Structure 1
């Protein structure tokens, strides 16, 4: 597309779809009634708070002066028009894989389909040495991938489409892949066993998306996984934490074909084999010994569960389909990392509100009603009941996270 050529409406519409797939507005829209794409959202990172930029086509405060080449360089190389580096809160390690055709569609939409907003977000201020943006070039050179996505000839069209969406526009690894010492993702595609094996971000644990039998997707079908991405519910589980916004702002708008392709790809990722909890209904029978959880769930935890949890999640831990998630066999319940479980009890949360899904449901905060000891007891009970077999939660686990959250 020549610089002065008017893009077609079809190209702009395609770019709008791709922007949804990439969830651009999710990061580039301020939390308090901000204008779409005008920036100002504060993003927490280990290096300080990063403020998202204005990516509307405003000539003064946005990207209105960006050529296509400037735009593509920002997305793929993490470089602004003035040559300064962007922090990897902008997922350019994933966006480098975006095809040229999709990049042109995105550019057409951002320049012609998004209203210009004259708004200058606050400057990102992080402490030394992380405020030295020149070093970001070195970071990318050493730790970020440089190649476009290449389809695999040994895989079918669905698999390749899913792989492309997961690895590039969806930038799923930004949350679901653990980070290394240099804050790089420890894998960027299926060739790495760490890829999408779960990651800790802003005091949430983004789930393991591989085939591990406890914390992963081994017991979830591709159909249920696609339904989960579309509605926030599937296989008895419900989205929580930052995944709620991802589904509300992005995934629910993808076509059924694309959601199926993503599910097909994810279901081919093998298990990591790492230490993990398990779910086996036979373990609920008397006399069956568990390997990680207490053989007899603690009575104190049972009492807390009966008083505060059973009304929604039921005595058998199976919840109410499409309303309250099951705790029996829930991958987030039996996973090794308990950060999200503790945070949900301390802060509460809600399920997504989607076009095709059930009404939003809220879980209350128990910060003022349960002590650290009680939260540890009830989570240990849940992780040892109904066939769940996962390590106990300690009072120190709860106290540490509550202190971090200032709750």
Structure 2
């Protein structure tokens, strides 16, 4: 090879590298287009538009992530644990210095549906913009009107996360978005009835139910974003809780629930199958109880249309009294798990594990007792669950925390008993799993926490 030819090849390679680098730089720094570019709101929006935005914020449960029990609504500060470290929810009040007061409608849209802040930095997908991408323009416009004209501005600096360098660099999120975040508003399917379509829009978009109930890949993306995949809403572990399947799985999902059961659960926080607890209690307290009956029935219609996976779920659960023979007195003295259950749990949940109607949930056949993942069982036993607050009235019943009363081994034993009795198939709980979750979590507050948006 001559020096001249070698030089030409070297120049060509350098140019190619510059072009690739330039292309990547353009890609990761470009500002996504918004249909509201160049649009300016003049005057105060109508009361109807603001009210629609407030309702949309309720359905999206924005207050839950962008507030803390000790802060004003939407002022930010909530810590969110990630595998890389903690991040903190930002201030989304209309404060012009520390909030979103300087955001135009297009800026707001880019943050909401594309995960790009006003200054161009990428948002972590803890902000569920892959779901919010499906929002229609009318809902985006209404949300902007509500946050800008009905939310009280709060001057509170957003806290920086503690994710170490280089993992805290934001530009790779542009590549993540290209691979995993689909753009485009929800498109109604002509073959489905309007109620189903409305439910699909809420569940996939504003409600962002998949953020908790859909399993995630190693790259932290939801493995599915709609019903075209059997993985969508099939259950997942998130932040120390197991969000169960919302599909027709008879043991770990909604297979034994009717549409009316789902509706009542979302409306009242309880049904014959269970009571909201953990993160879902916050969703009920701040979101679903404020939704219209029509929207709740739409959600119920949609999720009940999703088939289960018989291969994964196995034969439908049936109550098996014989598997609970350990409650006989002579066996009780031998089995530490059964003994603890009788002493600490049976007065509420019953010796037969069937609870007390819709007020105290059954443990026999419950999803948390049927799934192999024991996170929810461990977490609620360690830390209890906050009160359900319906129509401003706190519930008289709540699961108390047992972290100070029971050791790791005692909790493992009693949960193993529960998850292997009455036909339950969840299996044994390991003491080390209890220990790890004890170290990661804090006791549930005994205070009633319902964040008032206005």
- TM (norm. structure 2) is 0.83
Distance 2:134 2:280 in 1: 23
Are 2:274 and 2:366, in contact at CA under 8 Å, matched by a contact in 1?
yes
Question: CA offset at residue 5 of structure 1?
Answer: 4.2
The one of 248, 252, 263 aligned to 2:300: 263
Distance 1:14 1:287 in 2: 52
- More displaced 10-residue stretch of structure 1: 369-378 or 204-213: 369-378
1:251 counterpart = 2:288: yes
Matches within 5 A, 1:154-165: 154-165=191-202
Q: Tell me the residue number matched to 1:292.
A: none
SS of 1:349's equivalent?
coil
How has the CA–CA distance of structure 1 residues 153 and 55 changed in structure 2, closer, same or farther, with 3 Å as cutoff?
same
Distance 1:310 1:215 in 2: 23
Distance 2:438 2:171 in 1: 36
How has the CA–CA distance of structure 1 residues 128 and 277 changed in structure 2, closer, same or farther, with 3 Å as cutoff?
farther
Are 2:195 and 2:301, in contact at CA under 8 Å, matched by a contact in 1?
yes
Matches within 5 A, 1:132-147: 132-147=169-184
1:26 counterpart = 2:35: no
Distance 1:403 1:347 in 2: 11
The one of 250, 260, 277 aligned to 1:240: 277
Q: Tell me the residue number matched to 1:49.
A: 86
Distance 1:136 1:156 in 2: 37
- Structure 2 segments unaligned to the other structure (5+ residues): 1-38, 326-330, 444-454
SS of 1:281's equivalent?
coil
1:202 counterpart = 2:239: yes
RMSD of Structure 2 on Structure 1 (CA): 2.3
Q: Tell me the residue number matched to 2:203.
A: 166
Q: Tell me the residue number matched to 1:92.
A: 129
Question: CA offset at residue 316 of structure 1?
Answer: 1.5
How has the CA–CA distance of structure 1 residues 404 and 66 changed in structure 2, closer, same or farther, with 3 Å as cutoff?
closer
SS of 1:240's equivalent?
coil
- Structure 1 segments unaligned to the other structure (5+ residues): 289-295
Distance 1:3 1:54 in 2: 22
How has the CA–CA distance of structure 1 residues 56 and 179 changed in structure 2, closer, same or farther, with 3 Å as cutoff?
same
Distance 2:314 2:414 in 1: 17
The one of 424, 432, 437 aligned to 1:388: 424
Are 1:277 and 1:335, in contact at CA under 8 Å, matched by a contact in 2?
no
Are 2:251 and 2:317, in contact at CA under 8 Å, matched by a contact in 1?
no
Are 2:319 and 2:365, in contact at CA under 8 Å, matched by a contact in 1?
no
Distance 1:399 1:323 in 2: 30
Question: CA offset at residue 142 of structure 1?
Answer: 1.4
How has the CA–CA distance of structure 1 residues 260 and 368 changed in structure 2, closer, same or farther, with 3 Å as cutoff?
same
How has the CA–CA distance of structure 1 residues 378 and 171 changed in structure 2, closer, same or farther, with 3 Å as cutoff?
same
Q: How many residues align?
A: 399
Question: CA offset at residue 279 of structure 1?
Answer: 5.6
Matches within 5 A, 1:257-296: 257-273=294-310, 275-276=312-313, 280-281=317-318, 283-285=320-322
Distance 1:356 1:40 in 2: 25
Q: Tell me the residue number matched to 1:345.
A: 381
Deviations 1:256-301 (A, max 9, x none): 110111011011111134544766335335799xxxxxxx998332
Higher helix share: 2
How has the CA–CA distance of structure 1 residues 324 and 153 changed in structure 2, closer, same or farther, with 3 Å as cutoff?
same
SS of 1:200's equivalent?
strand
Are 1:40 and 1:54, in contact at CA under 8 Å, matched by a contact in 2?
yes
Q: Tell me the residue number matched to 2:53.
A: 15
Distance 2:323 2:100 in 1: 64
Q: Tell me the residue number matched to 2:267.
A: 230
SS of 2:125's equivalent?
coil
Question: CA offset at residue 406 of structure 1?
Answer: 7.9
Distance 2:400 2:244 in 1: 22
Distance 1:287 1:204 in 2: 26
Question: CA offset at residue 402 of structure 1?
Answer: 3.0
Q: Tell me the residue number matched to 1:399.
A: 435
Question: CA offset at residue 119 of structure 1?
Answer: 1.8
Q: Which protein is bigger by CA-based radius of gyration?
A: 2
Question: CA offset at residue 232 of structure 1?
Answer: 1.4
Question: CA offset at residue 13 of structure 1?
Answer: 0.5
SS of 2:390's equivalent?
coil
- More displaced 10-residue stretch of structure 1: 393-402 or 73-82: 393-402
1:80 counterpart = 2:117: yes
Q: Tell me the residue number matched to 1:326.
A: 362
SS of 1:44's equivalent?
strand
Distance 2:408 2:97 in 1: 51
Question: CA offset at residue 201 of structure 1?
Answer: 1.2
Are 1:275 and 1:336, in contact at CA under 8 Å, matched by a contact in 2?
no
Distance 1:403 1:60 in 2: 37
How has the CA–CA distance of structure 1 residues 247 and 12 changed in structure 2, closer, same or farther, with 3 Å as cutoff?
same
How has the CA–CA distance of structure 1 residues 286 and 206 changed in structure 2, closer, same or farther, with 3 Å as cutoff?
closer
- TM (norm. structure 1) is 0.92
